[in-house]
Structure 1
Amino acid sequence: MTMRVLLSTIGSRGEVQPVTGLAVALRERGADVRIVAPPDFRELVEDLGFAMVPIGPTLRRPPGTGDWAAGMTPEKARKLTEDTVREQFAVVGEAARDRDVVVAAGSLQIAARSVAEKLGVPYIFAAYCAISLPSPLHAPPRMPWQRPGDGIEEMWAQEAVQWNALFGPLLNRHRAELGLAPVGDVREHVHTSSPWLAADPVLGPWPEPDDEGVFTTGAWLLADERPLPGEVEAFLRAGGPPVYFGFGSMTAPPELGAAMVEAARRDGARAIVQRGWAGLDTGAAGPDVLAVGEVNQRALFPRVAAVVHHGGAGTTTTAALAGVPQVVVPQRFDQFYWAARVERLGIGVAHPPQAPDAASLAGALAALTAVTGANARRVARDVVTDGADIAAGRISRTVEDRI
């Protein structure tokens, strides 16, 4: 019997690409996989041969228009939350009707467990970063409601209050419509008592090694066989290894691209700047600069001198796997965690807590040493590359145990 899997995620490419890595691993086991994701990633999903069910609005904003949350009022936030929960129940509910298991990856998966419960199929939740899951050994991601001086226990308790206040009434209203009992703790309901951690055990380990409640799979890496574009290959051959700069789907002022170029020049290096969703502008570029769109990072990173990035889980893992030093410029949520992990492992540095400019980026690059490079090469040997296959095997056994 063919196993039918629904994979659901909401967020940027950092949330979606790992799901596609898991989808490929499941397909190799003969599974029929359907993916729920934001409409921005239809091409990514369908080019890999998977059925795509879009959810939510388009996330990508035109360069220069700022963060999607800019101008957000309490009324707009309330309406957005209501719309999000309602759409999740409708879209995920319909997409899961013929599935044998529902896998929700990343935060804000409010409806998926209720849908699985109503259908009587297994539900699995996976986080991409350890600090997304409560533990007395680490604090949650930085959020506006955190108060100076709060301890770890207080921060987690306050986060639970926020989850319940924001989603509790909406979740329980929809559960009542499905004939399901109300939920008292929204966060525990979404995460379950046995969540998965889809992060590399070296880069982002679960801090409680004896805790059998959290199953670490390793990061879900998408095997990318695409060759680098001809212009990238030509640029790489034309000189020494360049510094790569890229903020992925993060917002940033377009002029930051010119600051990146100046930082590389101050460091005596060439630069490859990924334009990303911010549409970074490299300014008066010369033969020592190449601006690129989306490229195969797994092919590119082993050939650069350093990777300067925003600290997403996927980019951090890909750079670590390449064995090159990193400069992490965190902006939000778990990116500060990844910046701290990179520094703790000695495989790179965290950018100072300020808006990046040419001087600060050049200073961070100058802080990379031969020891940093040696540490990066050492850690690269320990990065797990079969996390998606480990997760796919466990999903298969979960479904088989019910047959």
Structure 2
Amino acid sequence: MRVLLSTWGSRGDVEPLAALAVRVRELGAEVGVCAPPDEEFAALLAGVGVPLVPLGPTVRSVVSRERPPTTEDAFRLAADLVNARFDTLTAAAAEGCDVLLATGLMPAGVRSVAEHLGVPCLFACFHTFGLPSPHFPPGRRPGRQSSPEETDLEVLWEEDAQRVNAMYAEPLNTRRAALGLPPVDDVRAHVHGGRALLAADPVLAPWADLTHLDLVQTGAWLLPDERPLPADLEAFLAAGEPPVYVGFGSMAMRSSPGLARVVTEAVRARGRRVLLARGWADLARTDEGDDCFVVGEVSHRALFGRVAAVVHHGGAGTTTTATAAGAPQVVVPQIADQPYWAARVAELGIGAAHDGPTPTLGSLSAALATALAPGTRARAAAVAGTIRTDGAAVAAKLLLETAARERQPR
């Protein structure tokens, strides 16, 4: 049996697929992963013995431009990704595929390829952003926005579907027509399909009867990471009290000039040492003080249990890893689902949600006061014990069961 996993997005959209691939392989199936061709994603997958099949442009080329992406950029990227999915997945699945998994940025095209090839397809998401619900409004997407005065949730979700159609319907239906498939009227519903997997922890993302989708919550897909920390980082950790980790992952943080200085001074104002993660924001030392250290890509699972707090952007993966480690958090949300994770961290009492995407010395210092309070650490330790670690194994079993039940005879 062969499983093909596909995504396009940041590391938080790729690393869970590496975790799932490991579990699928343990069940005796072959597995392939189609993902953005960024070097770090290729290295991540190579680390678990799964080659990356390049899909679409690199994420870094899209998010690290000098200017923020425009609405026109978003529409062009949508069309490019639809075409990339048809081309890449058709070629990858031609070698034999029993089930396709669609994740990442609105994966329009994946289900159409599966339909053309006669194989089952499952949609998976790592957060609840964008899942239609009668209980809360949709998040923001590019395109014509709803009126600020509109409060009817049914209307707002219908307008959200129209925005998805405006971005994806034309390229999707053009490619479907070339394969002799009928047009899709509602791209969002087509992408979500009949059954979907929510790869998020039930404590961090409680989800019961909040959508009309047939949603199975597996728990987060966590990649085992047994890498030791680098010797120089170990030496820094041993040289004093636990530092505050600050890292923003795949976020370029353009809206925050002088970010490294702001976060360094805010942490120092709380009497703590500073551990900066370089990331795509390119954080670097601002002086020669021996209370500051900069790291590249290291094992968060090995590190987060040894720091005083984690300041981050609120990606689903980073939030889950910090929570599982019992580390108090300050979430500085930037886009998409990140405000949701920030709010959940605050609601659970395991950290603070920064107000807005641009930290200042005063605002970050105040948030750190909450995160570094003894009660917050005690609460974070208690919640850590409730986080599921079997999500990838649950999802792998569901994938193979779906393939066995729904695949068409060849």
TM-score (norm 2): 0.92
Q: How far has the Cα of 1:107 moved from its partner?
A: 2.8
Alignment of 1:1-400 (within 5 A): 3-40=1-38, 41-61=41-61, 65-66=65-66, 69=69, 72=70, 74=72, 76-97=73-94, 98-143=96-141, 145-151=145-151, 152-208=153-209, 213-253=214-254, 255-353=258-356, 355-368=358-371, 369-400=373-404
Q: Tell me, what secondary structure is at the counterpart of 1:307? A: strand
Kindly provide the CA deviation profile for residues 228-257 of structure 1, in whole angstroms up to 9, marking residues without a partner as x. 011111111111111000000101256311
For the residue of structure 2 that corresponds to 1:388, the secondary structure is helix
Residues 197-227 of structure 1 deviation map (CA, whole Å, 9 limit, x = unaligned): 1100110121427978110010000010100
Secondary structure at the counterpart of residue 60 of structure 1:
helix
- Return the alpha-carbon distance in structure 2 between the equivalents of residues 210 and 47 of structure 1: 36
Deviates more, 1:148-157 or 1:129-138: 148-157
Asked if the contact 1:107/1:127 (under 8 Å) is kept, the reply is no
Is 2:133–2:211's contact at 8 Å kept on the other side of the alignment?
no
Q: Tell me the alpha carbon deviations over residues 9-54 of structure 1, each in whole angstroms, 9 at most, x when there is no partner.
A: 0011010001111011111111111100000111211232112110
Structure 1 residue ranges, 4+ long, deviating more than 6 angstroms after superposition: 209-212
Q: 1:73 offset after TM fit, Å? A: 6.0
Relative to structure 2, which stretch is displaced further, 47-56 or 137-146? 137-146
Instruction: Give the secondary-structure state (helix, strand or coil) at the position aligned to 2:59.
Output: coil
Query: Relative to 1, partners in 2 of residues 1:233 and 1:146: Cα closer, same or farther, differing over 3 Å?
Result: farther
Between the aligned partners of 2:85 and 2:46, the Cα distance in structure 1 is 21
Per-residue CA shift, 1:271-326, capped at 9, x if unaligned?
11101012112210411111110110000000011100000000000000011111
Q: Report the alpha carbon displacement of residue 86 of structure 1 after superposing the two structures with TM.
A: 1.5
Q: Aligned-pair RMSD on alpha carbons?
A: 2.0
1:80 CA displacement: 3.3
Question: How many residue pairs get matched?
Answer: 398
Greater shift in the superposed pair: 130-139 or 102-111:
130-139
Q: Percent identity?
A: 51
Q: Give SS of 2:33's match.
A: strand
Aligned-partner Cα distance in 1 for 2:367–2:76: 41
CA distance in 2, matches of 1:205, 1:56: 32
Query: Per-residue CA shift, 1:47-95, capped at 9, x if unaligned?
Result: 32112110111222599854551xx363x54443332221221111111
CA–CA separation in structure 1 for the residues paired with 2:183 and 2:26: 38
Q: Distance in 2 between matches of 1:301 and 1:80?
A: 35
